Structure formats: structure tokens, C-alpha cells
């Protein structure tokens, strides 16, 4: 019996493989995933004057090679997520609730 996550991964790889055949022949899914994996996602935590935290989820801006690859695949990154407010104490070492 297959695990649902395994099935999802297989379907996503098949979709990427087909998209590459159409838009970027010669590229393989592992190559594309390795390149796109360098786009980092992080949360920027800023303290507010009332003891809460302003959390800005952000991903790094794609470089020229990323842009070329995304353009070739006719894809684009979504807009940066909106900020959110987090109430409570945060451990400085981990960024998680204490």
C-alpha cells in the first residue's frame, strides 16, 4: 500500500517532468529542484513597543538564473506573504514560543 505523501510526490514530479518536456527540454526535475532550492524562506521577527512581535515571512529574491528558469517554465513566485502579529514571549535562540 502506498503512502499518500509518496503518491503526491510522484504526481508532482510527473507534472514537473511534463512541464520541462514542453518548456525546457533537456532539463531534469532534480536539476530544477536543486536550483530552486536555493531560494530561501525565512521569518523576520521584529519586536513592537507593546511587547508583541511583528513577523514578516519572506523569501529571497530570485537571481537572474532563477528568473530565467521561472520564465522558461512560465511560472512566477507568489507575492511576499503579508505580515502578522504574534503575541507572547519568544525565545531568542530558536524564534519559538517559550
Mean pLDDT, range 36-45, rounded to an integer: 92
Say if 98 falls within a structural domain.
no
Q: Cβ of 29: how many Cβ atoms within 10 Å?
A: 15
The upper half-sphere exposure of residue 18, i.e. CA atoms within 13 Å in the direction of its Cβ, equals 6
**Does one domain contain both 88 and 42?**
yes
Q: Specify the pTM.
A: 0.67
Q: Is the pLDDT of residue 98 over 50?
A: no
Please give the pLDDT value at position 82: 94
Which residues are within 8 A (CB) of 36 and not within 5 positions of it... i.e. 6 or more apart? 66, 69
Q: Is the pLDDT of residue 36 over 50?
A: yes
CA distance 13 to 9: 6
The predicted-structure confidence for 46-86, as pLDDT tens digits, reads as follows 999 999 999 999 999 899 999 999 999 999 888 999 999 98
**Does one domain contain both 57 and 19?**
no
Structural domain range at position 63: 38-92
Amino acid at each position: 500500500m502506498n503512502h499518500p505523501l509518496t503518491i503526491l510526490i510522484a504526481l508532482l514530479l510527473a507534472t514537473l517532468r511534463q512541464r520541462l518536456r514542453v518548456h525546457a527540454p533537456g532539463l531534469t526535475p532534480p536539476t530544477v529542484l536543486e536550483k530552486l532550492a536555493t531560494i530561501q524562506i525565512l521569518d523576520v521577527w521584529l519586536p513592537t513597543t507593546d511587547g508583541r512581535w511583528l513577523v514578516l515571512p519572506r523569501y529571497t529574491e530570485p537571481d537572474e538564473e532563477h528568473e530565467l528558469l521561472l520564465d522558461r517554465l512560465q511560472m512566477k513566485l507568489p507575492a511576499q506573504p503579508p505580515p502578522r502579529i504574534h503575541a507572547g514571549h519568544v525565545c531568542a535562540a530558536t524564534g519559538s514560543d517559550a
